[in-house]
Amino acid sequence: MRASPFTIGIIQDHATDDEAANVARAVSLIREAAARGAQIVCLKELFNTPYFAKSTKVEHFDLAQPVPGPITDTMQALAKELAIVIIVPIFVRRAAGLYMNSAVVIDADGEILGVYDKMHIPHDPMFEEKYYFTPGDAHLDYHGEKGGAANGFKVWKTRYANVGVLVCWDQWYPEAARITALLGADVLFYPTAIGWHPAEKDTWGQAQVEAWRTAQRAHAIANGVYVASPNRVGFEPEPGTNGLEFFGHSFIADPFGRVVTEAGTDEAVLVHTCDPKLQEEVRRNWPFLRDRRVDAYQPILNRYIGASGLGTRDSGLGTR
């Protein structure tokens, strides 16, 4: 059991078309988090740009960064200076015509430990991510790496804790949380860009926020891990549309699913000290990992079972 508590921080802020200003703001807020004791700090999804996937424009591919590259150089120097781990979610150019929505994990000595590539890619009005992002590769390479691209779900042993990273749309999938927890994560970070269509806000806005938070709290409970979700805030226009309003409400939940700190819709830096003893206590009393029936889960590898899974005398997939 990891004996020492560790302190995490998440950054909730906005973004404009001025990338240099976005990076400078993030650096300032990371410094604030570190000054408040954060040892591991996570930024929002695509932190250095507006959420450009509101439309399909080929010129947006020019926003992608190599790894290593200018953004990671800046964050590596900052991590080393402050002796903190920084999770840096950016648009990554892997090769010509191959682009990923990724998060770079930088250890407290400034070394790049690896890159997580978003596995689940949404496609909704004004969330046109399938146009831009190749999903991460689901290779059975579960042991982390130093430098280079991640394959599938990963956990990194940083100076302060074992860190799992999943990105935005990944947060709706219990399989992603479970696998990352089984890999040994002490905390799951979910850098996010989620918001309201203005025309839907009055009818669905509060329910959407509650669903988003509830799904991730459930991951904390079911897996006995800390969960930390930094979202972006602010209205981002898009010609010919009503734009998107990113709703913030970033939060950190403990392994019991309790929200221990949360933000509203303004810029915020959230910091919380995580106690591994609590994780141990929760898992001892709710031993969900112990009681898993791994011999019975083969059907989950099907995209849909449907009527074939209804109870029949001979199917073995249900009861009469």
Instruction: List pLDDT tens digits, range 201-249.
Output: 999 999 999 999 999 999 999 999 999 999 999 999 999 999 999 999 9
- The pLDDT value recorded for residue 85 is 98
pLDDT confidence of residue 306: 84
Give the chain's domains with CATH numbers.
Answer: 6-293 (3.60.110.10)
Average pLDDT estimate for 4-15: 98
pLDDT digit string (tens) for 128-164? 999 999 999 875 443 445 433 345 999 999 999 999 9
> If you average pLDDT over residues 85-94, what whole number do you get?
97
Contacts of 228 by beta carbon, 8 Å cutoff, 6+ apart:
8, 10, 42, 187, 188, 189, 190, 251, 252, 253, 270, 272
Give the global pTM: 0.92
> How confident is the model at residue 311, as a pLDDT?
62
Q: In what order do the strands lie in the sheet with 6-12?
A: 112-117, 98-106, 85-95, 40-42, 6-12, 268-274
Q: Which residues pair with 246 in a beta bridge?
A: 195, 234
Residues with active-site annotation: 45, 118, 168
Whole-angstrom Cα distance, residue 169 to residue 151?
Answer: 17
Q: Mean pLDDT in the chain?
A: 92
Q: What is the mean pLDDT of residues 17-35?
A: 98
- Residue 317: band (very low, low, confident or very high) from pLDDT cuts 50, 70, 90: very low
